[in-house]
Structure 1
Amino acid sequence: MSFLAFRRAVPLSDNLRAAGLMVAAMCGFALNDAMVKLATQEIEPAQIMAVRGAMASVLLFALAWWRGMLRPAGPILSAPVAWRTVFDLLATISYITALTQLPLANASAIFQALPLAITLGAVLFLGEKVGWRRWLAILVGFLGVVIIVRPGTEGFTVYSLAVLASVVCSAARDIFTRKMSRGLPSVLVAAVGALSITVFGLALLPFVGWRAMSVETTAALCGAALAIAFGYVCVVAATRVGEVGFVAPFRYTILLFAIVLGFLIFAELPAFWDMVGSAIVVGSGIYMIYRERRVSRVKLAPTQGH
């Protein structure tokens, strides 16, 4: 497609609006992670899942009702939705557990390997074809993850593996998302996922116990619920307004927000090799998006939250 044809197909103003929405979404997701990390200093991940999940469920179901998306539950009870929910639960608990110990920017940087993991999963389980350039991008991207994690060194922590587990589960979640009925509204699916996380968190509470929450922690979880709902709405709007290949790279701005929030709230700064690994992961991901756009296969997951 020529540049002029591209401009005629998707007005630049729409793409710029979509890019702004995507940046706003990433800000929301980074704020969610920061607020959750603050809450982990006082309460257990299960309690965070229960409380934040309940707040997010109310917001998302209200949004689904407002947009007329509440409907008979037939397709929502399908096997792909059930498996998506299971992997969403596993991704959430592993990522929140990692946030208890990892710097915000490190956890966010490792999680940016998700598009690479999704592409690999699509090859293995959906039969999609990938050329040698994208195979190389996947390998280079995971090399960047290894540089961030640095197994066998003094800086290695098992919580980095928890983020990697979250990446794997999130990739499986998004693969099952592709298998869902196209008629299912994204907001309704997200609301059901949030409700499932709430129920799972409540089920774990008898084993970990409930702790009284300070005003600060309660406010942090309220902020996290609002931020993740805001991010979700913005990312859906971005993918509907603009051309996906143009908009997708802007989701890597979450790393910038994570670095700034990590410094301002937790006095954290990523180490040199963390920055190097992050640059490699982001570069590989952007190249992957570019290649997938050229073969008209770009598919962005509807949400990046945890």
Structure 2
Amino acid sequence: MNQDNKPFFGILLILAAGLLLASHDGLSKYLTQFYPVILVVWVRYVSQTGLMLMLFTPRMGRRVFQTARPLLQLCRGASLVGVSLLFISGLSYIPLAEATAVIFLTPMLVTLASAWLGERIGTGQWAAVICGLLGVLAIVRPGSALFTPAILLPIGAALCFTLYQLLTRRLSGTDHPVTSNFLSSLVGSVVLSVLVLFNWRVPSVEDALLMVSLGGLGMIAHLLLTHAFRYASAATLAPFTYGQILFAGLIGYFVYRHTPDTGALLGFAVIIGSGLGMAYLQRRQHRLAVG
């Protein structure tokens, strides 16, 4: 139940989630300098699956595993694996803030996919989509350091994340959110357990603990996101979800000594503005629909 009397608390939770997600990505970027991407992502999924089992099975029991739509859950889990592998692989070549900004194209891509599936899209929403794409072009413009085939990795991650969001919509009416998140984590653990056999490298104790911490960071971040919407509306929180790009930029600067150029900063602003415009239009459309 939404408790709009505490919007400030919801905003704090959404900002904390963005910081944890940016930290997760920054730590993943560090670890993949020394270990295969599949190994790092596998440990993250296995640790997250174990944590969710310990936290939720005492309260939910077998309901954690029960789904009315197993095939959709399998596809959702596979799409999330695609997001993780493509995005973290991209971090080996693309600065953290720029890669994060590309992922935030997802709301615009979801709108495009919804139009293709027959949903009516207004002129303002189409304008937001076009502006978002222009924002990416400002970041990845000809002549810039990012104008390489490697940029296709975060773009591919954004496409996979779009599929993940669409499937989440379909499942929200039938399956519990904890079940959906647990099954996605379980699918990732199983799929990557096969692939990791061909990408195995024994990590040091310190690095193994860092990999395990990725699962904790990811799980806590998603729990914070879920709880944030109990205290504030989606429209109130939408501007603050883009704080993750800011946090990614700060981590990129202080840890990796990368400063985005003027074109990238312009692209960030356009993508954020497009996303906020999309959120405003969706809010207005919802208000008109409910009278």
The alpha carbon displacement at 1:266 in A equals 1.4
Pair 222,76 (structure 1): closer, same or farther in 2 beyond 3 Å: farther
Structure 1 Cα separation of the partners of residues 62 and 119 of structure 2? 33
**Which 5+ residue runs of structure 1 have no aligned equivalent?**
1-8, 298-306
Match of 2:132 among 120, 135, 141: 141
Which residue is 1:50 aligned to? 42
1:98 maps to amino acid? G
Higher mean displacement: 20-29 or 151-160: 151-160
Pair 272,141 (structure 1): closer, same or farther in 2 beyond 3 Å: same
- Indicate if the aligned counterparts of 2:97 and 2:245 stay in contact, CA closer than 8 A: yes
Which residue is 2:203 aligned to? 213
Pair 150,17 (structure 1): closer, same or farther in 2 beyond 3 Å: same
> Residue 227 in 1 paired to residue 243 in 2?
no
Pair 198,283 (structure 1): closer, same or farther in 2 beyond 3 Å: same
Which portions of structure 1, spanning 4 or more consecutive aligned residues, are displaced by more than 4 angstroms?
9-12, 151-154
Which residue is 1:184 aligned to? 175
Which residue is 2:229 aligned to? 239
2:171 maps to amino acid? M
- Indicate if the aligned counterparts of 2:4 and 2:231 stay in contact, CA closer than 8 A: no
Which residue is 1:287 aligned to? 277
**Which 5+ residue runs of structure 2 have no aligned equivalent?**
none
Pair 278,72 (structure 1): closer, same or farther in 2 beyond 3 Å: closer
Match of 1:201 among 152, 175, 192: 192
Residues 26-175 of structure 1: pairs in structure 2 closer than 5 A: 26-68=18-60, 70-71=62-63, 73-75=65-67, 77-125=69-117, 127-151=118-142, 153-175=144-166
Structure 2 Cα separation of the partners of residues 172 and 155 of structure 1? 25
Which residue is 1:256 aligned to? 246
- Sequence identity (%): 27
The alpha carbon displacement at 1:220 in A equals 2.4
RMSD of the alignment, in Å? 2.1
TM-score by length of structure 1 reads 0.87
Pair 72,269 (structure 1): closer, same or farther in 2 beyond 3 Å: closer
The alpha carbon displacement at 1:17 in A equals 1.2
- Indicate if the aligned counterparts of 1:69 and 1:185 stay in contact, CA closer than 8 A: no
What is the count of residue pairs matched by the alignment?
287
Match of 1:25 among 7, 10, 17: 17
Structure 1 Cα separation of the partners of residues 4 and 172 of structure 2? 31
Structure 2 Cα separation of the partners of residues 244 and 234 of structure 1? 14
Higher mean displacement: 29-38 or 147-156: 147-156
- Indicate if the aligned counterparts of 2:5 and 2:231 stay in contact, CA closer than 8 A: no
> Residue 268 in 1 paired to residue 258 in 2?
yes
Which residue is 1:296 aligned to? 286
Structure 1 Cα separation of the partners of residues 108 and 61 of structure 2? 32
Pair 72,10 (structure 1): closer, same or farther in 2 beyond 3 Å: closer
- Indicate if the aligned counterparts of 1:111 and 1:163 stay in contact, CA closer than 8 A: yes
Query: Which secondary structure state, in structure 2, belongs to the residue aligned with residue 141 of structure 1?
Result: helix
Structure 1 Cα separation of the partners of residues 17 and 46 of structure 2? 21
